[in-house]
Structure 1
């Protein structure tokens, strides 16, 4: 089966599942609360330079959380539900199925950007202007791709562990800092800044801020960096998932028993 058809079918399947289990997208209900918290702090502070952080930080946090929660643990969840054997036995590549489902998850979670923007404009009456809409849209597209690619790699990595929740929890708040979501990377200690650049979210955060400034220098090559990091995560995830499939097939350990 063509891999693009597999990805598209997996997207549709995940959307249908989310409609039946809306609790999977509970983040759409909590993200506006995070936005209200950040916007309240910013409004109290009165510093307009942190407006971008207050508006779009909750959306980036929600995207990363969804990537870790539903994306990173997708194979493990299939294992718990005793449906992993069926996926492995199907003619479609498991990695393509996982990537397609994760694309659907992060695509739905992208609605948090709209929620944060509406919260700032209508509730807090703040003048939020996206000066470079093309930069913002392209940033959102490549960020969603990088999120899905990274989550695919995590899906293959987490299935090798019996304590997925521990790893998921440990990769939330530290990566919000390393990704420049809460504060720009330039404000971090100098020794930490090179480490942040191997994480695509640090480039995405800079691009989102650049889309709201009058100048947006170097945005094209920064977009390319995000895309390359996302592609690297996707390729690594596909390879890792294929190895996991071969391992559980050879050992007969696809089930949790």
Structure 2
């Protein structure tokens, strides 16, 4: 049995969970929804099963419940990797440790440190440590524009687009180019997505390295073009796959079926 935790942001027009469920049904794979708000994680009634997390709320209840479930079950993605990706600080630390190119970044409570960083780069990007869909991210050129601490600040990389690459088991299987007339290219911020027909080798390679750096089963890696390569902005542990021409739901369903079989072998 594959237990499924629905993405909280699913809508009738954008139903990530439903797409994968349909793909599982085509494979006659048994599945069942699991509601983290309605179970007692200390006595959930399931053990040695596969749990697929399409998405969770960024709150203590969902994450803690999922972490407890992970003690007796196989969870995709793991609670640890989801937590890593939810934190821009943890993601950046692992990218740097693995030698994956990423914009220069500081994390601090000190406005003086931010001001020094701003003087060095002239223009920087303020980002909330925990966030999604591009919310709360903005460029700044003056310390008076600084938001609330703690301060996660990246150098500004001039660009006219970014990329989202979908990675499963370290392999880049789909990608989109996102663009807009504003600073943010995220689809949820009004960006337009265009499928990348063929993923360049260097894009696939850096995306795979990013996924391995955070030790995750599958993810969405966000990239900025930089010189003749790319910089990794972040890794999404519960990604959407808007505008990708690759059949991502079928790929995920296939991965889950094989993962569940390996547990029962």
TM, length-normalised to structure 2: 0.29
More helix by proportion, 1 or 2?
A: 1
TM-score (ref. length: structure 1): 0.30
Higher share in strand: 2
